[in-house]
Homo-oligomer: A and B are copies of this chain.
Amino acid sequence: MEKFDIHILGCGSALPTIRHQATSQVVNIREKLFMIDCGEGAQVQLRRSRLRFNRLNHIFISHLHGDHCFGLMGLISTFGMLERTADLHIHANSDLQQFLLPQIDFFCKDMTYNVVFHPINPGERSVIYDDRSVSVETIPLRHRIPTCGFLFREKPTPNHIRRDMIDFYQIPTYMINRIKNGEDYTLEDGTIVPNERLTTPSAPPRSYAYCSDTIYLPRIAEQIKGVDLLFHEATFASSETVRARQTFHTTATQAAQIARDAQVKRLVIGHFSARYEDETVLYEEASAVFPNTVLAKENLMLSL
In angstroms, Cα B74 to Cα A77, docked, is 17
CB pair B40–A16 under 8 Å, yes or no, is: no
In angstroms, Cα B190 to Cα A45, docked, is 75
CB pair B44–A78 under 8 Å, yes or no, is: no
CB pair B14–A65 under 8 Å, yes or no, is: no
Interface size class of A (residues with CB under 8 A): 20 to 34
| A64 close to chain B: CB less than 8 A | yes
Partner of A44, one of B41, B64, B74: B41
Stretch at the interface among A101-109, A217-225, A282-290: A101-109
Contact A66-B98, Cβ < 8 Å, known A40-B74, A44-B16? no
In angstroms, Cα B103 to Cα A65, docked, is 11
CB pair B15–A78 under 8 Å, yes or no, is: yes
Q: Convert A70-82 into 0s and 1s, putting 1 for each residue whose CB lies closer than 8 angstroms to a CB of B.
A: 1101100110011
A46 and chain B: residue at smallest CB distance = B16
In angstroms, Cα B74 to Cα A298, docked, is 19
Contacts of A102 in B (CB 8 A): 98-99
Partner of A107, one of B17, B64, B98: B64
Contact A48-B98, Cβ < 8 Å, known A40-B43, A73-B66? no
Contact A66-B70, Cβ < 8 Å, known A43-B16, A47-B17, A47-B18? no
Contacts of A66 in B (CB 8 A): 73-74, 77, 107
Contacts of A48 in B (CB 8 A): 18
**A22, A40, A77 interface centre (most CB from chain B within 10 Å):** A40
A interface residues with partner B (beta carbon < 8 Å): 14-18, 21-22, 40-41, 43-44, 47-48, 64-66, 70-71, 73-74, 77-78, 81-82, 95, 98-99, 102-103, 106-107
